[in-house]
Amino acid sequence: MEIYNATGVTKTSELRVTRAIGALGIEMSQKFDAITNETISAYIERADGNNTTILPDISLAAFMAGSVSENPAIFQGAFGCSALAEICENGSVMLQDTEAIRIKLEGLKAGVTYQIHGIEYPNLSPDTVVWSRKNLLVGEADRKLDLSKEELLVIENPNGITDMLVTYINGNTVKFTNKEMVMISRDLDAVKIVDSDATTLLGRTQFDLPNLLNFPLVGVVSIDFKKVDSEAVRLFLKNDVEQY
């Protein structure tokens, strides 16, 4: 189901989807590494007024990057790039008769065409996926975060992190250097981008995302981030499933 398809705007209105969907198909007429300030926000408008935020105005690139943990890759070519990103596990979001999903894009480029498609699945599921974000600021040398309720971390500007001290549910703490973080990310998703426009096999498959890094959080209790004092780093967190 096509939700949005337009060129020449820098932000959308609030797009209202009343049909149950489980994923967003995102496509744009630019390559993935050309994404800059585009953001996406979304929430479930509940009948009782107790709305559920799914995407709290997060980087569109990070949202798409998080999709490669469940799907083969981000695809790109002469058309631009596309990805299928879930908003619900095991089916489509459960909606009552008067409820809806509201979506908004901001920071768009007027010369780029953006499309959003709602993917409908044959079954409904209460397992809604929820994202959040945190900032590691310039001047912060380290920050410890409780990540026990998260399942995936997407790091923007990963070169700003020197080390991570990761504590797991068995009580063990493991130190990962920046290089080791990259190795783990590659092991998590061997191929991040498939480019049909490239002329060589190496060019057609990309193992890393530009300025982004995925890190698995299953079994993680907390991470103590050690960072370059002069760098700012943004963390995008894909939460464990919230049931409604």
**Dihedral through CA 70, CA 39, CA 58, CA 215, nearest 10?**
40
Residues 93 and 148 in one domain: no
Strand partners, 75: 82, 194
Same domain, residue pair 71 and 174: no
Q: Where a domain ends, among 96, 127, 158? A: 127
Q: Are residues 108 and 205 in the same domain?
A: no
Least confident range of 84-93, 108-117, 198-207: 198-207
One domain, residues 97 and 160:
no
What pTM was estimated for this model as a whole?
A: 0.92
Which one of 127, 149, 178 terminates a domain? 127
How many residues are listed for the chain in this entry?
244
Q: In terms of domains, do 180 and 102 share one? A: no
pLDDT digits (tens, 9 = 90+) for 6-63: 999 999 999 999 999 999 999 999 999 999 999 999 999 999 999 999 999 999 999 9
How many domains does one find in the chain?
Answer: 2
- Burial of 154 from C-beta contacts in 10 A (0-12 / 13-18 / 19+): buried
224 near 49, Cβ under 8 Å? no
Are 108 and 166 part of one and the same domain? no
Q: Is the pLDDT assigned to residue 203 strictly greater than 70?
A: no
Residues 43, 144: one domain? no
User: Which residue among 127, 142, 159 closes a domain?
Assistant: 127
Q: Which domain holds residue 53?
A: 2-127
| pLDDT of 71 over the 80 cut | no
| Nearest residue to 167 via CA among 148, 186, 141, 154 | 148
